[in-house]
Structure 1
Amino acid sequence: MAPQTISIHYHTTRFLPQPDVFIRTSHGTRIPAHAGILASMSPVFDNFIDRPRKHRSSERIIQIHGVPCDAVTAFVGFLYSSRCTEEEMDKYGMHLLALSHVYMVPQLKQRCIKGLTHRLTTENVVDVLQLARLCDAPDLHLRCMKLLANNFKAVEATEGWKFLVKHDPWLELDILRFIDEHETRKKKSRKYRMEQGLYAELSEAMECLEHICYDGCTHVGPCHQLIIYHSAILHHHQLVPSQVLVTVLLHFINQIHLCDP
């Protein structure tokens, strides 16, 4: 049976001659195209088109297998118009990223990375992560890893994760290591924020001590409970900067006890 040739709308205002090359998809469907446009958008196509043909009269055929025919059609359409619809990105975003990487079309690759980033879910993140590794997309890869780390329980229940554990233990190890490092960074960040808050409270307490030193014990009533409160917090969290400061603080607290009416 003869291969089916489909016609596509190229979404361009340029005058186009008759197609001089055909792209054949997995199911034998042929997509007509123009060698000059393909070559100008992709160095891979340029290299292929420059190859001498055995017979000048034979048709130029470019084989693109392994992706749906409609994804190839969307890919060819982008080469003509530099546009990709949201519907095409919804349906074929991962296929288009793979095609843009293989055929070195950076504009489409960036469009796919952005589109897939916005469409990440716990269900598809494992598949997108694997593709991001293969397609040298570090930004997308990092976003996938962060989503995995923040939603690991949900991802762990997906078929994608179960398949990965069974067939790619090295990637599983990389992910688990990243999650461990991510949790460590989060704990350090929380501790740092807590320390900064406590140091701010300590600074406030020290202002009260300065008030005691300059104004005398007769005016320290409002500061009494505040200093004791900050001292208790610092003692509880074990975050006092120095033992000398502890001694001074406790000394003043004892003096306040003696001076209270």
Structure 2
Amino acid sequence: MTLCADFDALRASAADVRIVTSDGQSIAAHSCVLASASPVLERMIDRARRGWGADCTIRVLGVSFDAVRAFLHFLYSAKVAPEEEELVGAHGAQLLALAHAYRVGWLKRAAEAAVSARLTPERAVDMLKLARLCDARRLYLHCARLAAKDFSAVERSDGWRFARRHDAALQLELLQLLEDADQRKERWARERAAQEACRQLGEAMASLDHIFPSDGPARGDAPCDKAGCTCRGLQLLMRHFATCARKAAPGGCARCKRMLQLFRLHASVCDRPDKACRVPLCSHFKAKAQTEKEDKTWRLLVKKVTRAKVMSSLADRKVVPEVVVMSWTMYNGRVAKLR
């Protein structure tokens, strides 16, 4: 691939701007193209012409000649073709700095994506500092995520050793990012555990409805023929509750207390009339809830279990609504990124 096919035609035309790089080499360019591509270059060209006449020289320092040449090529083409992605990747960091300095937004986004795709733990600290200087939020988050994932490799990098000796602010910032990532993982783990508990409670409520249907006789200890049902465990727990002699003793029985909590939770989510519901103690807890005010924590638990019960019933359908599929996919995607 010819790096800058536009430059061949440029040499034969009247170029009115000269770009000088750090090593003293120069590249001819057109002011109209540069001014239309970058507002910063437009002001620099205007200032140079007002100060020194027709001769216009712009110095682009701090990056290599090849990076400046690639930068001008993309300014002329105004896009990154699929076959030019390797060129962006080869000069990604320098193109990102140039695009940020000269306010070429589309090229900055392309360079940021290229640097993020080729990021390694050894370069995470250097690219983190570059992302902070260039206000590249996507690259910044990618560096932080990579450092949290493989911090041992980051500690062995030259960038980390330099930050420890000469840039305490960068070191502190990276450590804070790692701490935030750990706290975020712990928070997500707690949320997943809470959601799993609510899902299990929702299944328990559905099992109670299955054991004590509103129409037809109660199943009692009869085995359940429903696939994946947890009725058997509840049947054993209710049998223990009916025969346990320790539930009235001081301290009580832990299993009986758990069964009472399930009965109370069922009464809170039950939408059947009092006479139509056959679950034990349902009417008792409903009447008690009308006379006593439930605390905020219990109301929140009831709300979450009701939501889990609804989601479980939707998941059991043969045709799941599209909004449920999209929500579940989005949730799993967010969790996978934090792992």
5 Å matches for 1:15-30? 17-30=13-26
TM-score (norm 1): 0.76
Give the distance between the partners of 1:181 and 1:148, measured in 2 at CA: 12
| CA deviation string 1:205-234 (max 9, x = no partner) | 3444455566568535664545668xxxxx
Is the counterpart of residue 144 in structure 1 residue 146 in structure 2?
no
Give the distance between the partners of 2:153 and 2:85, measured in 1 at CA: 27
**Number of residue pairs matched by the alignment:** 232
Is the counterpart of residue 44 in structure 1 residue 49 in structure 2?
no
Is the counterpart of residue 72 in structure 1 residue 84 in structure 2?
no
Contact 2:112 2:136 in 1 (8 A): yes
Between 1:177-186 and 1:20-29, the stretch displaced more is 177-186
Gaps of 5+ in 2: 225-230, 238-254, 264-339
Give the distance between the partners of 1:8 and 1:150, measured in 2 at CA: 39
Question: Quick one: structure 1 residues 227 and 148, their matched pair in 2 at CA, closer, same or farther if it must change by over 3 Å?
Answer: farther
1:31 matched to which residue of 2? 27
| CA deviation string 1:75-110 (max 9, x = no partner) | 111111124422322321100111111111112111
How far residue 133 of structure 1 moved from its aligned partner, in angstroms, is 0.6
Give the distance between the partners of 2:32 and 2:158, measured in 1 at CA: 43
Percent of aligned pairs sharing the same letter: 38
Give the distance between the partners of 1:195 and 1:206, measured in 2 at CA: 16
Gaps of 5+ in 1: 1-6, 230-242, 252-261
Of 219, 222, 233 in structure 1, the residue corresponding to residue 221 of structure 2 is 219
Give the distance between the partners of 1:29 and 1:15, measured in 2 at CA: 15
Contact 2:19 2:59 in 1 (8 A): yes
Is the counterpart of residue 175 in structure 1 residue 171 in structure 2?
no
5 Å matches for 1:1-261? 9-10=5-6, 17-51=13-47, 52-53=49-50, 56=53, 59-84=55-80, 85-210=84-209, 218-220=220-222, 223-225=231-233, 246=258, 248=260
Give the distance between the partners of 2:98 and 2:42, measured in 1 at CA: 15
Give the distance between the partners of 1:146 and 1:54, measured in 2 at CA: 48
Give the distance between the partners of 1:63 and 1:116, measured in 2 at CA: 25
TM-score (norm 2): 0.60
Contact 2:221 2:235 in 1 (8 A): no
Any idea what SS the aligned residue of 2:6 has? coil
